[in-house]
């Protein structure tokens, strides 16, 4: 029990091994996914609900709010921030095709600039570039709670069909989810880190947690992401086998 | 104007600023807490002030802590700090996002941000989480490694739970759905059992984290009430000390 | 050119900062540090853009009367005054005053509101819809109880239970979660580094 | 035409209040089509039923009307690389693996235009971004163009009829947005909130009922022993890595620790890797020097300032203190000028490191960058209760010398230091909190079970 989470200086070898196994499979599976290969996915309730909500929004003209959280791009929180942007992009493209409004809020300025590009492109692709409005994307200062409070104020202005919170959130995710709980709208989303996920899980109607957050693209509208899911699954099996075999060998006295 | 304001504040008798401050802070605290009785104008005012102050504070820090020190270094010695100049230029490109016709110029600095961020996240996840966590998950299940008799067995059982728990939680995230064939049926049957156990373990962790968060948030409430009741109206000033 | 340059730059930056992690080399360390500095500078510029966004929204509200004029005006004033004081007199008593009597109370009271929110979230999460909710309910109450400062006086075994819970099942679960998150992070980052995802082009 | 949300009267474009009932039309939701009368969302530009322009003005012109034949080539957009943009649909169609045969049958050839049917999707295919979609390498599979048969057309008409019937918005919004799990009623929430408020003021009336039973946990005693073992004049590094949001939990703990150090004449050097943490360090240390007047800035303690750069910043700090900080934060003097920092060159000159943190990645960063390189310097992590469970493994492995969760930790530390302060009284509130949550769990389930039974 002594070596729990020990951080050593000689981990470069392990990192190289993981990369050398992961990257080839990743490339192989991504190429296959791009050439049309499909495989069945385990259903995830939150993403299913999100797709339903997006079609409801298209029919009714109601707006879905996407909270993209406060993890900056350029920091190690980039992947989570990117997933918030992916969900926003999905909803923005749908809204743009039906020439409807959308609302994205973020607590980090770098996400704001990236989301502006996504929204502009979505509007242009749908043929209404002049419908792009900077006010559909709002930023409320880089402090998490200022973001939560500001986004809450935006949600007050009109009824929203759903409140989607996906990205990098801390305790402010609970703030935003609970403060809006008296309003009649679906609330769903998710975060990766366990500390925040525990709070979101107890507050939102549907949640994704941990690794599921990073699968948003594959479950929504990016089949090219299926390749990375397949490589993640393969890697997972390899890791489980490594841990099992390693533990058995250690117990028998062959290792460490 | 700011200087006169600062002068005026300095000229006031000692303690005035802190007395005013305590009152302002107390009223703002009350305004925010009033949210529990529902929406009201006081809360909205506090909300808007908070967003404004937080944004202004962050803006000031960005200037005094990030931009200005680096700009000074670059201006003093452009050869040694050429990269600051480069990033300042990229930063200016980022600002073009505000102008619709030039907006695509912002893609270049965003490329830097996304690329660097992905590299940092990848390196961090590999060397900081994945590899050390795999190493730490490999534990001995032999009681002899932990001690004599019952103690050794107890630790070995702990190690076993730890091992099974980690594997179960990990497999709870498996994405591939059920395919066809006998092998797939067997494999997914096994996976379903593990996933059920994994969800259970996750809920234990979430329960502990929820309890911890409750304590933290409650401590924040305690400290605000202590400020109101003891520092502001001094109702319970001498209690317990 | 418009599309390829950002692509090349993104891949280059990504590979460099990754190499900094897995290849021990002083030159790479220096390059990695430069990139981190660069990201800090770019984030500061992005913040400027963000502040303009806030300012734009609220100036628009003041001009058109959409929403409340007074509130938007107070936001603008609070922002500009704080920023001006912070930039002009970063070590002044005025900034300290703003920090101590406005910033900290507002922020920590917003956190204090979470005490209410977490209880109402728990009210919903504690409903025994399935076995998972039962596990959540039992562990969170158990942990809350065993964290009380005087449980040691009731029975030393309660402290042992608390430590065991944290040491074994909670550690197992968080470790599994962290491994999964690491896998997801690696895959998502690889999608950027191998140009499967190009979010910087607005995709 | 703007439809009044209250009485459904159709007002002319640009009306501010309803002509019929006088209700405000700000934030209206439906716009009636001037041609066919169908209701459309307020943001819509074209009517969903007949595609007429809703606002008679210079409505945007559709720039690229693609031919119908191009529609199936969309299908291949996700598979074809970008260079195949100019290729003809026939070549790309060959690559389609699944549905195309069905699709080809359904889709009419260009010389046979589709029968004009009033279907809700009509015209939208022209709005689809065909060219842009082909240019994109990995776009999602776009909406497939589907021409309805007779039954589907009848269904669609029925649906259109139902959908465009002027239903009051409030009802409609409820149907659309109903959350899966029923939210608490406003009254229920208010009762819950007032209960929490009552729990929070319990210690003001209970008089420290549980305070006399407080028994410090193992880590509290370990920490105190470790602090008390420091020789006079030793220097300790304090990192204030928490946000003002958690000041309520962390400040009392930080104040206790600094007071203990000051009483033993141990020197304190403070820094923060969060910009706002410096303000908190200043606040706590000012409070300390008010309480212990002999403990003076520059002589006994100093604040170095904000350390930017996260990992890179800590790495610099590890190699050289002077490289990380040129001058101190309050007096802007070089580190050599201040008596307390004069002899400090590297981290090895500190006896211990005490970290106050509200974020597990910060703690992990300190462990990875500082502790693993200086395993001989004890690292104490005093963190918010929220993140403490995440750090237990590091305590297990000995990388953290102690790990204290803020809330119970501060109370037990006060008790262990022999102080009977108000903080120890708050232990009553946490006890009440536990029992209230137990009570809430029971009530929640009683109400839940009775409501599910009623549904059955």
**Tens place of pLDDT per residue across chain D (456 aa):** 776 665 566 777 777 676 766 666 765 556 777 766 666 666 666 666 666 667 654 434 444 444 444 444 333 333 334 433 333 333 333 333 333 333 333 444 444 444 444 444 344 434 433 333 333 344 444 555 566 677 777 776 666 665 555 444 344 444 444 444 566 788 989 999 999 999 999 988 888 888 888 999 999 999 999 999 999 989 999 999 999 999 999 999 999 999 999 999 999 999 999 888 998 999 999 999 988 988 999 999 999 988 877 777 888 888 888 888 888 888 888 888 899 988 888 888 899 999 999 998 899 989 988 888 888 999 999 999 999 999 998 998 889 999 999 889 999 999 998 888 888 889 999 999 999 999 999 999 998 888 877 665
Q: Cβ A141–C122 below 8 Å, yes or no?
A: no
Shortest distance between the Cα of B159 and any Cα of chain C, in A, equals 8
How far is residue B3's CA from residue A236's CA, in Å, rounded to a whole number? Answer: 62
Find chains touching chain A: ≥3 CB pairs under 8 Å: B, C, D
Q: At a CB cut-off of 8 Å and minimum separation 6, what does C75 contact?
A: B48, B49, B51, B52, C54, C58
Any idea what the Cα angle at residue D101 is, between residues D96 and D106, rounded to 5°? 120
Scanning every residue of chain A, which has its alpha carbon at the shortest distance from the alpha carbon of D389?
A: A195
Shortest distance between the Cα of A2 and any Cα of chain B, in A, equals 9
For residue B61, what are the CA distances in angstroms to A57, A107, B48, B67? 40, 16, 20, 9
Contact yes or no for C105/D280 (Cβ under 8 A)? no
Chain B residues touching A198 at Cβ < 8 A? 205-207, 209-210, 213
Please state, in angstroms and as integers, the Cα–Cα distance from residue A35 to each residue in A169, A223, B74, B176, C195, following that order: 35, 10, 49, 18, 16
Question: Which pLDDT score is estimated for B98?
Answer: 76
From the candidates C183, C197, C201, which should be mutated to test the interface with A, based on the most A CB atoms within 10 A? C183
> Which residues are within 8 A (CB) of D276 and not within 5 positions of it... i.e. 6 or more apart?
B57, B61, C99, C103, D243, D244
> Is residue B141 less than 8 Å (CB to CB) from chain C?
no
Top-confidence residue, A90 or D74: A90
Model confidence at A205: pLDDT above 70: yes
| Contact yes or no for B57 and C99 at CB 8 A | yes
pLDDT 10s digits, C171-197: 999 999 999 999 999 999 999 999 998
Q: Rounded distance, CA D109 to CA C173, Å?
A: 58
Give residue B182's pLDDT.
79
- Residue A80, pLDDT score: 94
Q: Alpha carbon A85 to chain centroid distance?
A: 8
User: CA separation (Å) from A241 to A23, A216, B163?
Assistant: 19, 27, 12
pLDDT at C136: 95
Instruction: Identify the residue with better confidence: A132 or D192.
Output: D192
D193·B36 Cβ contact <8 A:
yes
Q: Which residues in B lie closer than 8 A to residue A247 (C-beta atoms)?
A: 137-141, 159, 163
* Long-range CB contacts for residues B141-148, cutoff 8 Å, separation at least 24: B141/A247, B141/A248, B141/A250, B141/A251, B142/A251, B142/A252, B142/A253, B145/A251, B146/A1
Taking the CA of residue D210 and the nearest CA in chain C, the distance in Å comes to 7
Output b/e per residue, D166-201; b: 16+ Cβ within 10 A. beebeebbeebbebeeebbeeeebeebbebbbebbb
Predicted confidence at residue D356, as pLDDT, reads: 96
Beta bridge partners of D305: D271
Residues of chain C numbered 19-48 and touching chain B (CB < 8 Å): 19-22, 34-48
What confidence score (pLDDT) does residue D50 get?
62
User: Which residues are CB-contacts of D78 (< 8 A; sequence separation ≥ 6)?
Assistant: A34, A36, A223, A224, D138, D139, D140, D141
Report chain B residues touching chain D, CB-CB < 8 A.
Answer: 36-38, 57, 61, 65-66, 128, 136, 205, 208-209, 212-226, 229-230, 236, 239-241
What pLDDT is recorded for position D169?
39
Q: Which of B29, B104, B161 sits opposite C172 (nearest CB)?
A: B161
Token representation of residue D19:
């002509």
CB distance A211 to A192 below 8 Å? yes
DSSP-H helix ranges across D229-354: 247-263, 277-291, 310-319, 321-324
A2 and D172 within 8 Å at the Cβ level: the answer is no
Q: Do B229 and D429 count as a contact with CB atoms less than 8 A apart?
A: no
Of the candidates D208, D197, D199, the residue with the CA atom closest to the CA atom of residue D427: D208
Closest CA to B87 of C33, D310, A80, A109: C33
Bridge partners, D239 (sequence order): D271, D355
Reduce the secondary structure of D107-169 to three states and give it as a string. Answer: CCCCCCCCCCCCCCCCCHHHHCCHHHHHHCCCCCCCCCCCCCCHHHHHHHHHHHHHHHCCCCH
Residue C146: what pLDDT?
94
Is B114 close to A114, i.e. CB distance below 8 A? yes
Of B220, B57, C106, C100, nearest to D281 by C-alpha is C100
- CB-count burial class (<10 Å; 0-12, 13-18, 19+) for C125: buried
For C143, the 3-state DSSP assignment is helix
Would you place residue B134 in the very low, low, confident or very high pLDDT band (cuts 50, 70, 90)? very high
Give D173 or C47, the one with higher predicted confidence: C47
Output the pLDDT for position A193. Answer: 93
Report pLDDT for D35: 67
CB neighbours of residue B221 within 10 Å: 25
Question: Which two structure tokens, joined as six digits, stand for A129?
Answer: 């570039």
Rounded distance between C-alpha atoms, residue B60 and residue D276, angstroms: 11
Chain D residues whose CB is inside 8 A of the B128 CB are 364, 368
Half-sphere CA count of B13, side-chain side, radius 13 A: 1
What ipTM score was computed for the predicted complex, to two decimals?
Answer: 0.90
Rounded CA separation A189/A45 (Å): 11
Q: How far apart are CA D133 and CA B204, in angstroms?
A: 46
Task: Judge whether residue B197 has pLDDT over 90.
Answer: yes
Q: Which of C23, C47, C191 sits opposite A142 (nearest CB)?
A: C47
Residue burial A166-189, b: 16+ Cβ < 10 Å; e: rest: bbbbbbbbbbbbbbbbebbbbbbb
Place of tokens 């949640």: A207
- For residue A139, name the pLDDT band (cuts at 50, 70, 90): very high
**Which residues in chain B are contacts of A244 at CB distance < 8 A?**
163, 167
State the pLDDT at residue D89: 39
Q: Is the pLDDT of residue B56 over 60?
A: yes
Q: Dihedral through CA D303, CA D307, CA D310, CA D316, nearest 10?
A: -100
pLDDT of residue B63: 92
How many DSSP H helices and E strands does chain C contain?
9, 0
- Whether C158 contacts chain B with CB within 8 A: no
Q: Which residues pair with residue A103 across a beta bridge?
A: A65
Query: Searching chain B, which residue's CA lies closest to the CA of residue A150?
Result: B51
Query: For chain D, which chains pass the contact test of at least 3 CB pairs under 8 Å?
Result: A, B, C
Backbone angles phi, psi at D247, to 5 degrees: -60, -35
Partner residue opposite D411 with nearest CB, options C115, C149, C152 = C149
Chain C: residue whose CA lies nearest to B108: C6
CB atoms within 10 A of CB A102: 23
Smallest Cα distance from A113 to chain D, Å: 21
Cβ A114–B50 below 8 Å, yes or no?
no
Tell me which residue of C117, C45, A76, C194 sits closest to D364, measured CA to CA.
A76
What is the Cα–Cα distance from D178 to A148, expressed in whole angstroms? 23
pLDDT of B136 over the 60 cut: yes
Nearest to D309 among C36, C119, C167 (CB): C36
Closest CA to A225 of D90, D32, D75, D78: D78
CA dihedral C53, C59, C65, C68 (to 10 degrees): 70
Count of positions (residues) in chain D: 456
Q: B147-186 burial, b if ≥16 CB within 10 A, otherwise e?
A: eeeeeeeebbebbebbbebbbbbbbbbbbbeeeeeeeeee
Tokens linked to D341: 């920092």
CA D294 to chain centre: 44
List of chain A residues whose C-beta atoms are within 8 Å of the C-beta of residue B58: 141-143
Tell me which DSSP letter residue D50 carries. Answer: T
Model confidence pLDDT, tens digit, residues C20-38? 888 888 888 888 888 988 9
Closest chain D residue to C143 measured between Cα atoms? D434
What would the mean pLDDT of B16-23 be, rounded to a whole number? 89
Identify the residue among C41, C96, C108, C120 best suited for mutation to test binding to B, counting B beta carbons within 10 A and taking the highest. C41
* Residues A122 and A114 sit within 8 Å (Cβ to Cβ): no
Sheet strands side by side (includes A103-106): A137-139, A103-106, A64-69, A162-168, A186-191, A206-209
pLDDT score, position C23: 85
Contact by Cβ (8 Å): A228, C190 = yes
Tokens 């000689």 — which residue?
A10
The answer to whether the CB atoms of B115 and C80 lie below 8 A apart is no
Record: contact C81-B22, CB cut-off 8 A: no
Query: With an 8 Å Cβ cutoff, are A186 and D133 in contact?
Result: no
- Alpha-carbon span D284 to B29, nearest angstrom: 20
Contacts of C82 in chain A (CB under 8 A): none
Q: Show residues of chain B in contact with C89, CB under 8 Å.
A: 2, 6
Q: What is the mean pLDDT of chain B?
A: 88
CB atoms within 10 A of CB D412: 24
**What's the pLDDT at B105?**
86
- When CB atoms are compared, the residue of B121, B155, B179 closest to A1 is B155
Answer yes or no: do B57 and D276 touch at CB < 8 A.
yes
CB contact under 8 A, C38 and B217: no
D200 Cα to chain B: minimum distance (Å):
6
CB contact under 8 Å between C150 and D427, yes or no, is: yes
Q: Which residues of chain A lie closer than 8 angstroms to B103, CB-CB?
A: 116-117, 120
- Residue D168: its chain A contacts at CB < 8 A? none
> In angstroms, rounded to a whole number, what is the distance separating the alpha carbons of residues D246 and D357?
9
| Cross-chain CB nearest to B221 (options C71, C112, C193) | C112
pLDDT at C176: 95
Chain A residues in contact with D29 by the CB 8 A cut-off are 61
Residue C26 near residue D319 (C-beta atoms within 8 A): no
* Cβ-based contacts of D41 with chain A (< 8 Å): 60-62, 100
Q: Which residues of D touch B217 (CB under 8 A)?
A: 386
Yes or no, beta carbons of B114 and C22 under 8 Å apart: no
Chain position carrying tokens 């340059």: C5
| Touching A: D residues 78-107, CB under 8 Å | 78-79, 95, 97-98
For residue C126, the 8-state DSSP code is T
| CA A72/CA A61 separation, integer angstroms | 31
Best residue in D26, D43, D406 to probe A by mutation, most A CBs within 10 Å?
D43
């Amino acid at each position: 029990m002594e070596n729990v989470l020990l951080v050593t200086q000689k981990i470069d070898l392990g990192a190289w091994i993981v990369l050398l196994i992961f990257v080839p499979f990743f490339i192989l599976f991504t190429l296959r996914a791009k050439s049309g290969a499909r495989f069945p996915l385990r259903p995830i309730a939150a993403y299913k609900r999100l797709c339903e909500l997006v079609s409801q929004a298209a029919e009714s003209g109601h707006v879905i709010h996407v909270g993209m959280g406060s993890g900056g791009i350029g920091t190690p929180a980039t992947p989570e921030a990117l997933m918030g942007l992916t969900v926003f992009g999905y909803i923005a493209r749908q809204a743009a095709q039906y020439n409807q409004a959308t609302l994205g809020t973020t607590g980090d300025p770098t996400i704001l600039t990236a989301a502006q590009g996504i929204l502009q492109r979505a509007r242009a692709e749908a043929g209404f570039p002049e419908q792009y409005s900077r006010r559909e994307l709002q930023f409320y200062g880089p402090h998490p709670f200022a973001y939560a409070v500001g986004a809450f104020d935006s949600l007050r202005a009109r009824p929203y069909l759903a409140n989607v919170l996906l990205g990098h959130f801390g305790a402010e995710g609970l703030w935003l989810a609970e403060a809006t709980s008296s309003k009649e709208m679906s609330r769903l989303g998710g975060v990766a880190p366990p500390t925040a996920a525990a709070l979101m899980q107890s507050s939102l109607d549907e949640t994704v947690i941990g690794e599921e957050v990073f699968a948003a693209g594959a479950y929504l509208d990016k089949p090219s992401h299926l390749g990375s899911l397949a490589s993640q699954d393969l890697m997972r099996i390899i890791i489980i086998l490594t841990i099992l075999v390693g533990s058995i060998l250690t117990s028998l006295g062959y290792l460490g | 104007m700011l200087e006169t304001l600062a002068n005026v504040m300095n000229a006031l008798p000692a303690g005035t600023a802190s007395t005013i401050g305590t009152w302002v802070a107390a009223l703002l605290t009350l305004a925010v807490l009033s949210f529990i009785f529902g929406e009201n104008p006081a809360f909205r005012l506090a909300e808007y002030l908070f967003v404004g102050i937080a944004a202004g504070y962050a803006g000031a820090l960005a200037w005094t802590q990030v931009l200005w020190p680096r700009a000074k270094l670059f201006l003093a010695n452009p050869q040694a700090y050429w990269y600051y100049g480069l990033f300042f230029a990229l930063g200016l490109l980022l600002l073009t996002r505000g102008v619709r016709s030039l907006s695509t110029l912002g893609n270049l600095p965003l490329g830097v941000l996304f690329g660097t961020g992905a590299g940092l996240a990848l390196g961090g996840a590999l060397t900081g989480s994945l590899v050390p966590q795999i190493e730490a998950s490999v534990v001995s299940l032999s009681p002899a490694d932990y001690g004599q008799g019952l103690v050794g067995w107890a630790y070995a059982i702990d190690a076993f739970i730890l091992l099974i728990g980690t594997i179960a939680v990990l497999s709870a995230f498996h994405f591939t759905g059920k395919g066809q064939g006998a092998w797939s049926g067997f494999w997914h049957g096994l996976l379903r059992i593990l996933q059920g156990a994994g969800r259970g373990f996750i809920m234990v962790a979430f329960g502990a984290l929820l309890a911890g968060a409750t304590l933290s948030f409650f401590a924040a409430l305690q400290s605000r009430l202590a400020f109101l009741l003891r520092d502001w109206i001094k109702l319970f000033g001498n209690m317990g000390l | 050119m418009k599309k390829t340059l950002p692509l090349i730059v993104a891949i280059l930056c990504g590979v460099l900062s990754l190499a900094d992690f897995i290849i021990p080399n002083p030159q790479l360390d220096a390059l990695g540090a430069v990139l981190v500095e660069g990201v800090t500078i770019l984030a500061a510029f992005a913040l400027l853009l963000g502040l303009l966004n806030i300012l734009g929204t609220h100036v628009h509200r003041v001009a058109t009367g959409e929403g409340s004029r007074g509130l938007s005006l107070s936001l603008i004033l609070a922002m500009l005054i704080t920023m001006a004081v912070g930039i002009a007199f970063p070590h002044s008593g005025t900034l300290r005053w703003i920090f101590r009597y406005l910033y900290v109370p507002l922020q920590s009271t917003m956190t204090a509101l979470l005490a209410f929110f977490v209880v109402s979230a728990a009210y919903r999460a504690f409903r025994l819809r399935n076995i998972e909710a039962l596990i959540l309910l039992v562990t969170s109450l158990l942990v809350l109880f065993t964290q009380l400062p005087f449980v040691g006086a009731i029975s030393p075994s309660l402290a042992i239970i608390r430590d065991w819970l944290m040491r074994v099942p909670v550690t197992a679960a968080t470790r599994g979660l962290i491994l999964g998150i690491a896998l997801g992070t690696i895959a998502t980052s690889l999608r950027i580094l191998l140009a499967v995802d190009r979010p910087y082009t607005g995709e | 035409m703007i439809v009044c949300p209250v009485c459904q009267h159709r007002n002319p474009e640009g009306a501010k209040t309803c002509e019929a009932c006088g209700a405000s039309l700000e934030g209206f939701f439906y716009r009636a089509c001037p041609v066919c009368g169908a209701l459309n969302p307020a943001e819509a530009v074209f009517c969903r039923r007949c595609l007429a322009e809703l606002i008679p003005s210079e409505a945007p012109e559709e720039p690229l009307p693609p031919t119908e034949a191009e529609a199936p080539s969309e299908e291949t957009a996700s598979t074809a690389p970008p260079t195949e943009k100019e290729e003809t649909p026939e070549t790309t169609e060959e690559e389609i693996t699944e549905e195309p045969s069905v699709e080809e049958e359904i889709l009419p050839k260009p010389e046979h235009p589709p029968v004009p049917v009033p279907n809700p999707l009509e015209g939208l295919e022209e709005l689809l971004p065909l060219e842009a979609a082909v240019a994109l390498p990995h776009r999602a599979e776009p909406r497939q163009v589907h021409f309805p048969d007779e039954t589907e057309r009848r269904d669609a008409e029925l649906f259109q009829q139902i959908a465009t019937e002027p239903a009051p918005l409030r009802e409609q919004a409820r149907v659309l947005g109903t959350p899966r799990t029923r939210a608490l009623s406003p009254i229920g929430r208010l009762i819950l909130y007032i209960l929490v408020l009552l729990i929070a003021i319990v210690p003001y009336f209970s008089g420290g009922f549980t305070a006399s039973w407080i028994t410090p946990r193992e880590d509290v005693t370990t920490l105190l022993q470790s602090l008390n073992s420091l020789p006079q004049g030793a220097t300790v590094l304090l990192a204030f890595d928490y946000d003002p949001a958690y000041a309520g939990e962390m400040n009392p703990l930080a104040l206790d620790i600094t007071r203990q150090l000051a009483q033993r004449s141990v020197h304190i050097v403070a820094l923060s890797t969060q910009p706002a943490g410096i303000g908190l360090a200043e606040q706590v240390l000012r409070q300390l020097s008010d309480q212990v007047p002999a403990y003076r800035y520059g002589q006994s303690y100093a604040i170095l300032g904000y350390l930017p750069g996260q990992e890179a910043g800590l790495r610099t700090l590890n190699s050289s203190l002077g490289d990380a900080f040129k001058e101190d934060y309050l007096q802007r003097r070089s580190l050599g000028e201040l008596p307390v920092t004069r002899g400090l060159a590297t981290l090895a000159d500190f006896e211990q490191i005490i970290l106050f943190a509200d974020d597990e990645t910060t703690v992990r960063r300190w462990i990875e960058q500082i502790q693993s390189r200086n395993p001989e310097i004890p690292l104490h992590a005093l963190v918010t209760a929220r993140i403490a469970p995440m750090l237990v493994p590091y305590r297990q492995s000995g990388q953290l010398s102690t790990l204290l969760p803020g809330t119970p930790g501060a109370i037990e530390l006060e008790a262990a230091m022999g102080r009977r302060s108000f903080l120890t009284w708050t232990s009553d509130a946490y006890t009440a909190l536990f029992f209230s949550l137990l009570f809430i769990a029971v009530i929640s389930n009683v109400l839940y079970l009775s409501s599910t039974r009623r549904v059955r």
